[in-house]
Each structure stands twice: as structure tokens, then as C-alpha cells.
Structure 1
């Protein structure tokens, strides 16, 4: 009997066709079927079947275990499915079959049931975090640990995404989404690849002088196209490497090997080699043309770059580099908030993913009377205030539709931000909101809730919130980006548990880097502002972890200042080229 299929309701591309009943096609039965259940939505994932005869997958659904399973999708090219044709508090049953290139269907997978429901705040945030984590688990090459730069490109890996992914694996273990054994196997494969992949001046190497090319081929691990040897992307990768080195602390052969590899990978990086014009670090190098013409000056995402270079036990840079970095800060006042400006919010998030800046100051922040955490909080509130003000009159901007950063836009990819406004085209990016959660928990939660409720069927997909959307143009991204999924996973972990911060800040490299950059605990310990004020609303009751100790003054508690009087804005001393994240 032949069954004619119509296009179903799954996320992503589908192909209608004519399929035969289940038979022995020789294809493996899908395994690992799992679910993510939300308010009027069900996400299914399963382990991909690797077979040249595979055309895709076919999902079946039933209303009860005893009802017949009916064809429910077209042929899906990927191993996930999103069902929006569901009602809360009703249970649905799903099975998956493989489909071969001749149209034959394989045998049924195991059955899984799912009951959509309205979610409280904690469950909603868990769903957002878990779905973002799934990107790093499913969109990776498990053999070498490389992670896709974006979900639609199967051949291109971003090394920064790999760094976010390494740290995200620890979150998956802590939440029980994956086992410690599975997580450390993926980490070990990643580090073995990073250590053993070719380093040298050749145009098809993986890296040189310990640095890595911005983009690598997902399979070979070699340089992709004319990608540059990238200092900032190497730093984001290494932050993940150091984090897993500190996290996997058990005395067994696998975890000991992880620690050794991480140490070898980090010690190999020759940071001074990238100081070609001054104390500042160059953006990168290309084998065809040499060093790029730009150096990293503040303020942007490169704090983590300088701190790791300062903390290196093998090739450290001098403390003068931090002074050179901060010398180009632009301190301005916008919407009643005074802070070091950088319009796209990713610049206020990336370093904070790993480094807990609460209660510590360098010389610049001592002069201003705050810390970098407070600086990011003000920048985020100003970004939201800009959306409320909406000077360009974009559709839907407001108190719950904000978040300007670098992302896909209707025509391409661009870094956007405010204030001051930079390339604002009406595009909003969920990672800008979720990645700001430790700084603005109330505002971020309200915005994520509103966006899910208002745009659910167009913005929600197999890995949670898609990259971006533009209400004025009725455009919704189809892709996910690894560098945007990472801050969602990790900043939702830092609020409220602080686990990423707590582990990373114990590493001797970051302790040394902070000390050599001149960071010391803030003098006033009586002005404490906890970021866990809404923990009872969005998380299980849990004590806020103590501030990880810096080398300068062990035992100093975390403190946050009351807001000082606004400081008059000053014009930026120089303009830096806009960094390209992807």
C-alpha cells in the first residue's frame, strides 16, 4: 500500500513525497529519541543516521498509545522536528522512521510521549538553556569536537563556537542532560584534535604559533578558505579549554589527559608574537599577507584576550598591554547611565561569560567607582532604554523587545548596537537578551517571555530562539549561530548558580592575568548588591556562590557598589574597526 504525504508542520526544510510502508531498507533504526516540551510546542531530537542511502526521516504521531500512528511530516533532512500543532496539557505520541533514496521507510523508532504545558519562570529558563545547549551537542563533529559556525553550513566550524561549546558541556553534565562520561569523551576528542592538528605557516594548517584560524573545515580541521589566524577567536576557544581543564578534576586517566592537553594547548600560544606595532595585540595574521592592520583597543569583547595573555605561564605579555588597552575607552552617558561604551551587547557579555568581574577593579574602574559587571549592567539598561525610546520608529521596539548586537539581519550579517546607535535596522537578537541575564534578570526574563509568546511559531525552533528577527520587515532568521547560542547557555548558568564563574576563576591563569592587569577587590565591602534578588522566582532556592578569590587578596567577599553620580561623557579618543564575529 502506498501512502501519499503532504508537507507537515516541522521546522526546517521538508520534502513531500510518496513513501512505502515500513520495510527492511537496510537503514539503521533511529535511536536516542528525546523531547523538549514547552508552552504549545514540542521539540524532538534523535541521533543522526549516517548512511549514503539515507534521504531523511519521517515522523509519525498518535493521540494515544493505542491509536494508530499517522504520517505527520514530510521527509526531514535533519534529525529534529518541532511540532506547534499541539495543545497544552494534552499528550502526544511520536515515532520516527528513516527514509531511503528510493522512498522506502525503515522500522519504527521507540515511541516517545510529550505533554506541552504552560511553564513557570524556572522551567521556561531551563527550556531556553537546554535547547541552546542542544546546538553544541547535535551540531558538532563528535570525532574532533568541532562545532558548526551556523546550523545551515555543514562544512564550516568556528573556533570561538568550540570554546563556548566546551564550557557548555560542563553545564550539560551539571544539569544531567548528558553523562559526565559522554561529556568528557567529547572534550577529550576536542582537545586531542586541537593539540595534534598541524601548526605552521602553511596556508592549509589549523593554526600557527599556538593560535588557530577563525574558521576550520568541520571534517579535516584545516583552515577554511582565506580565514585569518584570529587572536580573539583563539582567546574564546582557550577560555573554554581552561574552563574544562579546571572542571574535570577527577583522578582518572581520561580527566588527567584532559588537564594535560589543556595545559599543553595553552602554553603553546606565543602571545608576544602578535604584538607587532605596540603593546596592544594584533587582530590576526594571514599566511598570504602577514599581520592584519588593526590592534585590539578597548572597549569590546577582547578583555578576555588580554587577561589570558597576561596570565600565560609560557609567553606572557607585559602589564603595559592592559594600560594600552584601556587607554582608548570611551566613557559616555546615555539615558541616565554612565559607562564605557561599545554599542553591540556582545562586547559587554563575552568576557563576562567566564570572568566574574563583580567586586574587582582595575585602575580605570577604580577611578570611576564601579566594576565591569556594573558597567555591563548599565550598558544593557541603556540598550533597552534605546529600544523604548525607539528614535528610528521601528515596529515592536519597546520594554520587552530590545537587544541589539551582532547577528544575522534580513540582508546579511552585521554588528549593530546602541547607544550610541550603530547600524540599527530594526533587528532584535534573543542572545543579546539572554546573554545579559546576570546583569538584567527581570528585564531579560520579561523580554524572553514576551518574544516567545508573541512570535513563537516563527522565532522558536529545534535549538530554542533562532538567531534574530526584524518585526518591521516581518523577517525571522532560519539559522542558529554557535557564538550566539553559547552566551545563552553560559550566562543563564551564571545566573543564579555562578558555576561557570566559580570554576573558571579558580584557574591560576586567570588569577595571574587579573593580578597583572592591576585588578584588586573593591575597597568598600559594605555596599553589597546581590544579583540573586529574583532567584526565588526563576530558580530553585540556592545560595549565591562566594566570589572566587583573586591572588591579590584571598578571602575578599564579592561586593558591588551603589551607583555613583553620573560622570559627564567624554568623546571617544579613537575609533576601532568593528570586530567581525562570524
Structure 2
């Protein structure tokens, strides 16, 4: 049962990823448990954000925890930065994937604005938490200010009003921008809160301009299909009771909206319009995750299209029968009354509940695999970006730790206010 003892165990096993899948020399975190995989800067950010949990849960002494953060911060300070293709970052942002040893760009990947945002959020978590007047913690806060201050958010607009998805040295800016409700809410709050290259106020209006307010299964909701998009910004920002203009106009807030999204995913699984195996009241959660692979199979006379890693969503898909336990756990603060029974059910499935890093992050009961212990597909990997949301949202559900820490970040508070948020805890702050 998902009681306090089980939550302790889940956090500890999930945290093991950030202790083991890491290069101790530079602090880079592997993207997934494939020994050939590079580092993911988003995974580094989530690992940084998890440090206060490691301290508060007595896993690492606070005396030694700042050194773990400093190793990563010094790496990004000293890493090659410039417009050439063989670098770690440019204009204060960083490439999505980096070589685990050299820290240089791999796979000709993009300079990622959203993944840089997750990295910055992890840095800011450490800066707000490690607030003692010691030599190490003073250096930590200075380095975070320095690194965050280098991010040129105005450059990232590429002359427009909305932030670009990213940039490549070979071809320039990616021709897509962050507009419409998704995980980029955090991206804009950070950019607006910058002291050096702040986003103009109209950039947030551009982001909100394509919001979709819909009624689905009788629930009115600001829609975004994958469940992770309703969670990632709220790993760090406590959006309970504070509202921007859009939410004031609809008499709700982003936290309540994420609660509605959690219920929507469960209802979609109950209705199961495509007849996938296993879906139901206690088996749901559709998000960006690993899948069986790009192929079509005929199952019971029906041609089924399956996918590899893709952003699955509800109710509009894509959907191939793949469910993600991690994204259910990351909804714990929003709707514990339906998350806990679902996790209790998933614990009875053979999906690695007792594995080294906790639940395997995705499975598909429709896709049969003859030599699998379950008889169906379970991903062989854990992913660095899936571990953090489980750790942080369990802690926010239990104590509100990360939310409380980030209320002390003047960058976050400033960004929220510039985006037009007010009410609740935000009105009570003087910074």
C-alpha cells in the first residue's frame, strides 16, 4: 500500500538514479540506463532539484551536499561556450544532450531552451535552499546568479514575441515557438524573472494566445494532451491559489486545472475508446515516454500502430496502449484519492516495483512479448527526466518542500508577478 513507509521507499529507490547514473568528475547525469546514452541537461537540473530532498530525508548530510551541486555548477561555468558546433552551450543556454565525459554536444542536437529551463530551475532550487553563510554555499549562490544571468532570453525570441524551441549552429533557430499551454510555463516565468536579459511582458501574452479551453468528459479544462505538461512547471512553482489573467477569467488556477487533467486521463482510460488491454479506473497515465517501437501489428484482427519515444496524450492521442506509472505518481499532489489506488494496482504488476530505480517508466499490455516475464512489453530503461518528477512531487505532496524553497527565489517571484500572477501566497511576499 502507498503509505508513508512506501513513499519513503519509492523516493529512496528513485533517487538512486541520480547517485549512480552520474559522472562523478563533472556531475553530468545520463539520459537513460543505456551505457551508450549521453547526458541530458534536463536530468542534471532535476538531480540538482532533488538535492534538498536527499538532505531533508537524511540520505546525504547537508555539510557535504553543496559540494555535489558545486561540481555541476563549476562544470557549466568552465565548459566551452560559443557558436561553434563542438561546445556545451551558447548565449547562456545549453545543448540538450552532452557527452558524459567531455560535456560537449552530441548527436548534432539542438541548443534547447526548454531543457535549459529545467537545468536553471534545478540550479535555482539549490541557490534558494543552500542559504547559509559558508564559503561553499556563498560560492554556490554566486555561480547560480552568474550562470542564470548569462541566458539571453531576448536572443531566444529570434526577433518574435514567443521563445524559440532552440537553435543549431548548422541551421540557426528551429522554426517552432513555445505557444499554447504546456511545460513551457516554467520557461516564461524564468525568462520574465531574468535581471540581465528579461523577456518583455508581451512574450507571455504570446505564449497564452493559443490556449485551448475545452469541455471534455463534462470537465472544463485548459487542455494539453500529455499529462507531463500539466506537471513539470509545478514541480517547482506552487500554483495553488495564484492566477494569471487567463485563470482569473476562468475562475480557476493551474493547480486545479492539473487536477482536472488527472481525472481526465483516468476517465479516458475507463472509456478506453480504442480497446487497449489493461486500461481502466486503476490503469491510466499518458505522456511522453518510451514505447514498443515504430511498427504496425495485427492484433485480434485490428491493425495497431505502435510508437517508440513519443508524447502520448488524452483524449486526442497519440495512443498505442502505453501507460506511464511515473506520470501517475507525479500527479500525487493534484489528486491523491485516485493516484494512490492506481499505484497500488500497478504495484501488483511485474513492472519493476522492486527494481534498483523504482517503477519502470512505461509498459504496454496490448503489445505481447513472448519472452517477457509479464507476457507483454515493459521498457528496459529508466530515464533521468522521469525520476525527478516522482521524487519532487512525492515530496511536495508530503511536505511542500520544493514549493516552499522556490517561494524564496526572487527570480521566480519576479517572473510570476511580471506574468500577471497575483493572489494567495504571492500577495503576501515583499520581494
TM-score range, shorter chain: over 0.9
* 8 Å contact from structure 1 (residues 148, 154) kept in 2: no
Alignment map for 1:18-37 (pairs within 5 Å): none
Gaps of 5+ in 2: 294-307, 368-375
Structure 2 length as normaliser, TM-score? 0.92
Offset from partner CA, 1:106-132 (integer Å, 9 cap, x none)? xxxxxxxxxxxxx66111121111111
Q: 1:462 aligns with which of 346, 352, 356?
A: 356
Q: 1:431 aligns with which of 316, 326, 341?
A: 326
Do structure 1's residue 380 and structure 2's residue 282 form an aligned pair? no
Distance 2:366 2:206 in 1: 41
Offset from partner CA, 1:287-306 (integer Å, 9 cap, x none)? 00000000100111000000
Distance 1:335 1:153 in 2: 43
Do structure 1's residue 418 and structure 2's residue 293 form an aligned pair? no
Structure 1 length as normaliser, TM-score? 0.69
Q: 1:274 aligns with which of 128, 132, 156?
A: 156
CA RMSD of aligned residues (A): 1.3
Higher relative contact order (CA 8 A, sep 6+): 2
Aligned to 1:292: 174
Do structure 1's residue 554 and structure 2's residue 422 form an aligned pair? no
Alignment map for 1:35-434 (pairs within 5 Å): 121-411=3-293, 412-419=308-315, 421-434=316-329
Displacement of 1:323 in angstroms is 0.7
Distance 1:511 1:146 in 2: 28
Displacement of 1:277 in angstroms is 4.3
Offset from partner CA, 1:25-76 (integer Å, 9 cap, x none)? xxxxxxxxxxxxxxxxxxxxxxxxxxxxxxxxxxxxxxxxxxxxxxxxxxxx
Distance 1:460 1:385 in 2: 28
Q: 1:479 aligns with which of 378, 381, 386?
A: 381
Distance 2:429 2:10 in 1: 36
Distance 1:505 1:422 in 2: 35
Q: Secondary structure at the match of 1:143?
A: coil
Question: Greater CA radius of gyration, 1 or 2?
Answer: 1
Displacement of 1:182 in angstroms is 3.4
Distance 1:170 1:218 in 2: 24
Aligned to 2:299: none
Distance 1:198 1:179 in 2: 32
Aligned to 1:453: 348
Distance 1:262 1:154 in 2: 30
* 8 Å contact from structure 1 (residues 195, 265) kept in 2: yes
Q: Secondary structure at the match of 1:285?
A: strand
Q: Secondary structure at the match of 1:465?
A: coil
Gaps of 5+ in 1: 1-118, 523-548, 556-582
Do structure 1's residue 510 and structure 2's residue 388 form an aligned pair? no
Q: Secondary structure at the match of 2:220?
A: strand
* 8 Å contact from structure 2 (residues 29, 44) kept in 1: yes
Distance 1:208 1:515 in 2: 28
Greater per-residue helix proportion: 2
* 8 Å contact from structure 1 (residues 155, 219) kept in 2: no
Runs of 4+ with >6 A deviation: none
Displacement of 1:154 in angstroms is 4.2
Q: Secondary structure at the match of 1:300?
A: coil
Do structure 1's residue 499 and structure 2's residue 401 form an aligned pair? yes
Displacement of 1:278 in angstroms is 1.8
